[in-house]
Each structure stands twice: as C-alpha cells, then as structure tokens.
Structure 1
Amino acid sequence: MIPAQTFANKKVALFGLGGSGRATALALKEGGAEVLAWDDNPDSITKAAESGIPVGDLRAADWSGFASFVLSPGVPLTHPKPHWTVELARGAGVEIIGDIELFARERTARAPDAPFVAITGTNGKSTTTALTSHVLADAGRDTQMGGNIGRAVMTLDPPRADKHYVVECSSYQIELAPSVNPSAGILLNLTPDHLDRHGTIQHYASIKERLVAGSETAIIGVDDVFCVQIADRLERAGKEVVRISKRLPLTDGLFADGANLMQAENGRFSRIATLEDIGSLRGQHNAQNALAAIAACMKVGLSPREIQSGLDSFPGLAHRMEQVGHKDHVLFVNDSKATNADAAAPALSSFGRIYWIAGGLAKEGGIEPLRSFFPRIAKAYLIGEAAPAFSATLGETVPYEISGTLDAAVEHAAADAARDGSGEAVVLLSPACASFDQFKNFEVRGDAFRTAVNAIKGMQAIGGIR
C-alpha cells in the first residue's frame, strides 16, 4: 500500500467503495487523513466499515471542512449528469480528484525520479500495459503494474527511485488526475467511446490528451486524425513527442514494417526489434502496442537487446488472442474479450484459415462490418442468441452451423480443423458479442473455451498466460 501522506491531517471526503475505492480510503487513512466515505450501495458501505473505513452519509456532511473529494472513476463527473456528490463538492469549492491523482502526488513528493509509464487509448491499453511491465521485469527492473488493470494503484509499493511504475489509465481516471506527470505518457489511439460519460468525441479526446500533455515524453499513435492533431499540438507547445504508427513509414518515430519494428530519425531507418514468430503479438494492433512499449522502455533506459528479450517471452493476456493450445497443425485461440465486431476484427485479420466460433448477445450492427474477413473463414460455429441473425449475414458466403453451445462449437470446430488439408488452421473464439446470454462475463466465457480445448485428447497446452 502507498500511504497517502500528502493528505496527512486533512479532511477528505470519498465516494465509491468498491475494491479500488476501499483501497484508496485505506491509503488515505494510513497516510494520516481524516476520511469520511460513502456509497449508494449499502453492501459496499458495510464492507468498508468492516475494513475500518469511517463511513457517513455525505449528504449530511459539512463540505466546507473538506480539503479534497476523492471520487470513484465509475461515478459520473459530467455526463449524463453530475453525481449528487459532485454537485455538493463543486458548491463548496472542494477539488474533485481520483486515485491516480493521489498516486501522482505521492510520487512527486517522495520519489519524483521514479520511472512512471502511464498508458491510455481507446483500444490496446491493457496489452500495452502488460507488455511494458513484462519487458521491464524481464530486464530485471523492480516493476509495479496497476491502475485500470490488475491492482488498484494505491495498493502498489510506495514510490522509490529504483521502482518502475506502469499504470493503465482510463478516461474516467485521467479526468480526475489534473497533475498526472508520467516519465512516459502513451496515447495509443482514439475512436468514439464512452460518449455517454463524456458527451462528445472532442471532450473525450481532450481528456485523453491530458495524460500525454503532462508527461515528460509523449508517445502518441498517429494512425487516427485525433491523435495526429494532439501530437502536432503538443510538439508546437515544446513537448517531446515520439510518434508511432502501425501502418505508416515515419521520417521520425517508430513504425511497423511487417514484423519488423523500425526507428526513424531524420528519415534514416534502423530496425530496433522484430515480432517475427511471437504468437502472442500477432496483428497490426499488437504492432502498435509493441511500438508504444518499446518507446516507453527506451525512455526509462532499456537497451534494444533487453527489449527484444522481453518481447520474445511475452505470454500475452488472457482472453485477448490468447494462444490456448495446439494439436498437430491446429492452433486454438481465445479472443473472448472481442465483444463486438470492431473488437473481433484484429483477430480475424491475423489468421488465414479460421474455424470461427462467434455469437452470444449481439451488439448493434452484428457482424456485417466483418464481411471483408469472410474469405478467411473456413467455417463458422454460431452460439447463443445471435446465431440466427449471424447465420443470415453469413448466408451462402461462409459455411456455418448453429452449434448452440460453446462446448459443441469447440468439439465440432476442432474435428473439422483437424481434417483441414491446408497445413495450418486456427480454431478461434472471437465472438463479436457480449456474453450475457450464456455466461456471466467474457472472462467466464473464455475460461469455458480454455477448459473445453484442454479436454481434447492430445492437446498441447500453451502456458504462461496471465
């Protein structure tokens, strides 16, 4: 835990007592703050009180006595309308911050030179965070990973100059972190997302921009117009900017040339790393993730040799193009995190001969946006509520069966792929659907796929996923 000593002897209000909220409240209490916490969920209040966190209805509190208000990032700050606690804080002139802000202040006060990599973007945040952390740890650095992935940020070890912090930041967290100041700030990409919470894409982009604007070095993917504009704007303001691209050859920055990752300086190119034969980093989207991780690791002092070693040994993330196992010429891949068509596209673009398991609770638009990938699909195995609609889209273009259940889909896809004479085939779970018709969440769905695959006789499991 990081005791929030910068709040010692201050009165702090806190709302949101889920796991990270309780961790933040305890960090404030441990640092000497006088905390009053609350939640709209009575069960969360009970758990907090049992943990020794002072609780009390913030509606009845004297807000003039609070120095700060710590808000859970899951609670609306602006849209669709501010939460009632936000209105109370604003009315009393109390600053509204989140746990990432607490971390930033503690690092600035205790160990401002501690390497700190912060990652945001619409897509790829978790993989880039895990990859950066893995490369640093593989190189022998004391690495602390958390934020919007894994551990709540205030449960990491207290800042020290020899510790490297790798923190995933959502737009909700950045919005509550006005002084976040990473050594390397990464903005991977921007597409419309969370507009119910941010109102417009312009506002959403401006929040993401804050992370890189506050960094020593801004690492920005320049494959979309919003990020191009942000990179140009920060560079004009005098910020050190490293541009990365998964598809464009840059004259300055890092870019992908097939499996080769290139560094460009004043139009001169050199290969800095390769993704050749790294199954956990297939696809253009993972090239972008790797480029960002490389730029960040270079910023905090790693050599190309150390970086390549980390890339080579990266196991990937569970449920994100996770290599589960292989049998003879067939690879089995769990991409259960792909809960809509856009999320399924990277996996479908990464393989040439696919036995595709898809379906669940359909999102708007179904799989029509994936039509350009249909020639890659040897056969589709449709499950869940979306099966009839998906079969209508596939029509006569792609052979399919309505398998109904995931277990049946795995069994039939494995048998068909085993008979494939092309020499290389993939059984891919990339559902393009939410899981809620048959599973609690995408993790449970992915675990069920892994269990079914590993039950196949003669399956060689691929370990190391975390």
Structure 2
Amino acid sequence: MIPVESFRGRRVAVFGLGGSGLATAEALIAGGADVVAWDDGEAARAVAAKRGIPVEHLEGIGWASLAALVLAPGVPLTHPKPHWTVALAAEHGVKVIGDIELFAIERRAVCPSAPFVAITGTNGKSTTTALIVHLLRHAGRDVEIGGNIGPAVLGLKPLQPGRHYVIECSSFQIDLAPSLDPTVGIHLNLSEDHLDRHGTMANYAAIKERLVAAAETAVVGVDDSLSAAIADRIEQRGGRVVRVSNRRPLAAGVYFDHGHLVEASTGSATVVGDLGGIGSLRGAHNGQNAAAAVAAVRALGVDVRTIMAGLRTFPGLAHRMEQVGRLNHVLFVNDSKATNADSTAQALASFERIYWIAGGKPKSGGITTLERFFPKVAKAYLVGAATEEFAATLEGEVPFERSGTIATALEDATRDAQADDAAEPVVLLSPACASYDQFKNFEVRGDHFRDLVRAIPGVAPVGPGA
C-alpha cells in the first residue's frame, strides 16, 4: 500500500467502494486522513465496513468540512450528467479527484525521484503497459504495475527512489487527475470511444492530452490527426516530445518499419528492436505499441541490447491477441479485450484466413468500419445482443452463423477451420463489443474462451514467441 499522508488530519469523502475505492480509503486512513466512505451498493458497503473503513451516507456529512471528494473512475463526472456527489461537491467548492491524482500528489510530496510512467490511448495501452514493465524488469529494474490494469495504484508497494511505477490510465481516471506529471507520459492514439461519458470527441481528446502535457518526456503516437496535434502543441510549448509511428518513417522518434523498430534523431537511424517471429507482438498495431514502449524505456536509460533481448521473451497480454492453443494447423486467438471496432480492426489485419467470433453488447457504429477486412474472414459466428445488427452488416459480404453463445461459436468455428486447407486458419475471438450482455467483463469472457479452447481434445498450448 502507498499511504497517502498529504491529507493527514483532513476529512476526505470516498464514493465508490470497488477495488480502487477500497484501496483509496485504506491508503488515506493509513496516511492519517479522516475518511468517510459510501457506495450505493449494500454489498460493497458491507465489505468496506468489514475492512474497518468508516461508512456513512454522504448526503448529510457537512460538505464544507471536506478537503476532497475522491470518486471511483466509473462514476459519472460530467456526462450524461454529474453524479449526485459531484453536484454536492460543486455546490460546496470541494475538489473532485481520483486515486491517480492522489498518487501524483503523494509522489511529488514524498518521493519525486521515483520514475512514473503513465500510459493512455484509445487502443493498445494495456499491451504497451505490459511490454514496458517486461522490458524494465528484463533490465533489472524494480517495477510496480497498476491503475487501469492490475492492482489499484494506491495498492502498490510504497514509494521508493529506485522503484518504477508503470500506470495504465483510462480517460475516466485522467479526468479525475488534474495534476498528472509523469516522468514519461505516453499517448498512443485517439478514435471515437466513451462519448457517452465525455460528451464530444474534442473533450475526450483534451482529457487524453492532459496525461502527456506535463510529462518530463511525452511519447506520442502521431498516426491520427488529433494525436499528431497533441505532439505539436507540447513541442510548441517547449516540452520534450518523442513521436512514434507504425505507418511511416520519422525524422525524429521511434517508428515501425517492416518488422523493425527504428530510433531516429539528428539525421541518423538505428534499429533498436526486431519484432519478426514474436507471436505476442504480431500485427502492425503492435508496431506502434512496441515503438512507444521502446521510446519510454529508452527515456529511462535502458540500452538497445537489453531491449532486443526483452522483446524476444515478451509473453503477451491476456485477452489481447493472446494465442491460446493450436489444433494441428488451426491457431486459436483470444482477443476478448477488443471491445470496439477499432480494436478488432487490429486483430483482423494481423491474420489472413479468419474464422471470426464476434458480438456482445454493441457500441455505436457497430462493425461497418471493418468492411475492408471482410475478404480475410472465411466465416463469422455471431453471439449475444449484437447478432442481428452484425448479421445485417455481413449479409452478402461474409458467410455467417447465428451461434448465440461463445461455446457454440467455438464449436462451429473449429469444425470449419479444421476443414480449411489454408496454411494457418485462425479461430479468432475478437468481439468488437462490450461483454455485459453475457459476461461480467471482457476478462471473464476471455477466460471462458480460453478454457473452452484448451478443453478441445488434441489442442496444444502456444507459448511466448510462437
């Protein structure tokens, strides 16, 4: 745990008692704050009370006495309308922050020399985060990982000068962290997502920009116009920017070129990584992820030889292009983390002969933007609430079955892929949908798929780098 001593002796309200909320309340209490916590769910309140966290409804607590309201990231801040606690905070002039902001405040106060790497982007941030951690650990560094991936940030080991904190940040978390100042801030890309939470694309982009705006080194993907503009603005203000791309060479920065990662500066270009044959980093989209990770660890002083060796041993990220098994010539890939069409596009672009399991709770736009990949899809197997919407898009373009569930879809896809004489037909779970119609979250969905695949007689596991 990281005790938050910056609020010692002051009263702080915490709303939302899931994993991050519980860790936040305990870290504040450990640091000497007077905490009052609440959650609309009775079960969550019971868990908090059992852990010694003071639980009291926040409506009548005397808001004028509060130093801050710490909000769980899933609680609406502005859209579709502010949560009732946010409205009360505004009425009484109480600042509203999140656990990432508490971490940033405490790091500045206690241990500003502790390297802090923060990562965001619409797509690719979890893979990039995991790869940075892997490369740093391969270099012998003491590394903690958390935030939007893994443990809540305040549940990590206490701040120490040599300890690196690699923190994945969602837009929800950044929105609650006005003073983010990482050692290395990484922004990968921007595409339409979470507009129900942020209102407009301009507001969404501005929130993402906050993560890199005050970073000592800003690593910014420049393959979309909004992100390229972010890099330009930071540079114009005199900030240090390292641009990354998986689409074109750069005069300065790190870019992906025909399987190689190239670091360019002052008229020279050096190969700093080779992704050839690394199954866990297959696909052009992983060129951007790897380029950003390499730029980050280079900024932290990791040498090229260590990077090269570390890339070769990267096991990949669960649920993101995760190779989970092989049955003769058929490869099974768990891409359950692909909860929108842009993320699924990266998976479809990575394979040539695909038996595609798609569907769940649909998002705005469905899969119409994926039409350019339809020639790669031998057949689609539709599941969940999106079935009819996706069927209408695929009609006349891609053969499909209404499979209903992932178990049935896997059975159907395995049958068809085994009969395919292509060199490597791929059974791909890449839903392009949220999971909430049939599963608690994408992790549960991906675990279910992986378990089903490994229960198929004759399936062999696929290891790192395969």
* Shorter-chain TM-score tier: over 0.9
1:396 to partner: Cα distance: 4.3
- Structure 2 CA distance for partners of 1:151 and 1:416, relative to 1, 3 Å: same
State the Cα deviation string for residues 147-168 of structure 1 (Å, max 9, x = none): 1111000000111111111001
Greater mean deviation of Cα atoms: 422-431 or 98-107:
422-431
Q: CA RMSD in A?
A: 2.1
Amino acid at match of 2:249: P
State the Cα deviation string for residues 28-55 of structure 1 (Å, max 9, x = none): 0001111122222233222212211112
Taking structure 1 as the reference length, the TM-score comes to: 0.94
Distance between the aligned counterparts of 1:139 and 1:151, measured in 2?
22
Distance between the aligned counterparts of 2:181 and 2:95, measured in 1?
18
8 A Cα contact 2:313 2:464, kept in partner: no
Greater mean deviation of Cα atoms: 426-435 or 402-411:
402-411
Instruction: Within 5 Å, give how 1:336-375 maps onto structure 2.
Output: 336-375=336-375
Distance between the aligned counterparts of 1:303 and 1:349, measured in 2?
31
State the Cα deviation string for residues 351-410 of structure 1 (Å, max 9, x = none): 011122233444444433222112112233334454455445434443444444433332
Amino acid at match of 2:211: L
Q: 2:238 matched to which residue of 1?
A: 238
8 A Cα contact 1:339 1:433, kept in partner: yes
Q: 2:98 matched to which residue of 1?
A: 98
Greater mean deviation of Cα atoms: 355-364 or 205-214:
355-364
Distance between the aligned counterparts of 2:299 and 2:251, measured in 1?
19
Distance between the aligned counterparts of 1:72 and 1:361, measured in 2?
23
Q: 2:126 matched to which residue of 1?
A: 126
Q: 1:67 matched to which residue of 2?
A: 67
Question: Does residue 416 of the first structure (1) align with residue 416 of the second (2)?
Answer: yes
Distance between the aligned counterparts of 2:60 and 2:457, measured in 1?
63
8 A Cα contact 2:49 2:55, kept in partner: yes
Distance between the aligned counterparts of 1:130 and 1:100, measured in 2?
18
- Structure 2 CA distance for partners of 1:392 and 1:177, relative to 1, 3 Å: closer
Q: 2:451 matched to which residue of 1?
A: 451
State the Cα deviation string for residues 117-176 of structure 1 (Å, max 9, x = none): 000111111111111111111222111000111100000011111111100111221122
Greater mean deviation of Cα atoms: 2-11 or 235-244:
2-11
Distance between the aligned counterparts of 1:388 and 1:54, measured in 2?
48
Which runs of no fewer than 5 residues in structure 1 stay unpaired?
none
Distance between the aligned counterparts of 2:80 and 2:412, measured in 1?
45
Amino acid at match of 2:354: I
Distance between the aligned counterparts of 1:233 and 1:452, measured in 2?
48
Aligned residues with identical type, % of pairs: 60
Q: 2:82 matched to which residue of 1?
A: 82
Q: 1:308 matched to which residue of 2?
A: 308
- Structure 2 CA distance for partners of 1:390 and 1:121, relative to 1, 3 Å: closer
- Structure 2 CA distance for partners of 1:138 and 1:382, relative to 1, 3 Å: same
Distance between the aligned counterparts of 1:386 and 1:241, measured in 2?
41
Instruction: Within 5 Å, give how 1:195-234 maps onto structure 2.
Output: 195-234=195-234
- Structure 2 CA distance for partners of 1:58 and 1:281, relative to 1, 3 Å: same
Question: Does residue 394 of the first structure (1) align with residue 422 of the second (2)?
Answer: no
Distance between the aligned counterparts of 2:59 and 2:436, measured in 1?
35
1:188 to partner: Cα distance: 0.7
8 A Cα contact 1:250 1:267, kept in partner: no
Instruction: Within 5 Å, give how 1:134-283 maps onto structure 2.
Output: 134-283=134-283
SS of residue in 2 equivalent to 1:428: strand
Greater mean deviation of Cα atoms: 307-316 or 87-96:
87-96
1:438 to partner: Cα distance: 4.1
Distance between the aligned counterparts of 2:439 and 2:48, measured in 1?
29
- Structure 2 CA distance for partners of 1:92 and 1:275, relative to 1, 3 Å: same
- Structure 2 CA distance for partners of 1:28 and 1:311, relative to 1, 3 Å: same
Question: Does residue 49 of the first structure (1) align with residue 49 of the second (2)?
Answer: yes
Distance between the aligned counterparts of 1:362 and 1:171, measured in 2?
20
Q: 1:321 matched to which residue of 2?
A: 321
Instruction: Within 5 Å, give how 1:426-465 maps onto structure 2.
Output: 426-463=426-463
State the Cα deviation string for residues 269-298 of structure 1 (Å, max 9, x = none): 221111111111111221111111111111
Number of residues paired by the alignment?
465
State the Cα deviation string for residues 173-231 of structure 1 (Å, max 9, x = none): 11222222111000111122222222222222111111111110011111111111111
Amino acid at match of 2:225: V
1:317 to partner: Cα distance: 1.6
Amino acid at match of 1:315: P
State the Cα deviation string for residues 333-354 of structure 1 (Å, max 9, x = none): 1112223433321111100111
8 A Cα contact 2:25 2:37, kept in partner: yes
8 A Cα contact 2:133 2:166, kept in partner: yes
Taking structure 2 as the reference length, the TM-score comes to: 0.94
Greater mean deviation of Cα atoms: 423-432 or 376-385:
376-385
8 A Cα contact 2:13 2:66, kept in partner: yes
Distance between the aligned counterparts of 1:83 and 1:328, measured in 2?
53
1:110 to partner: Cα distance: 2.0
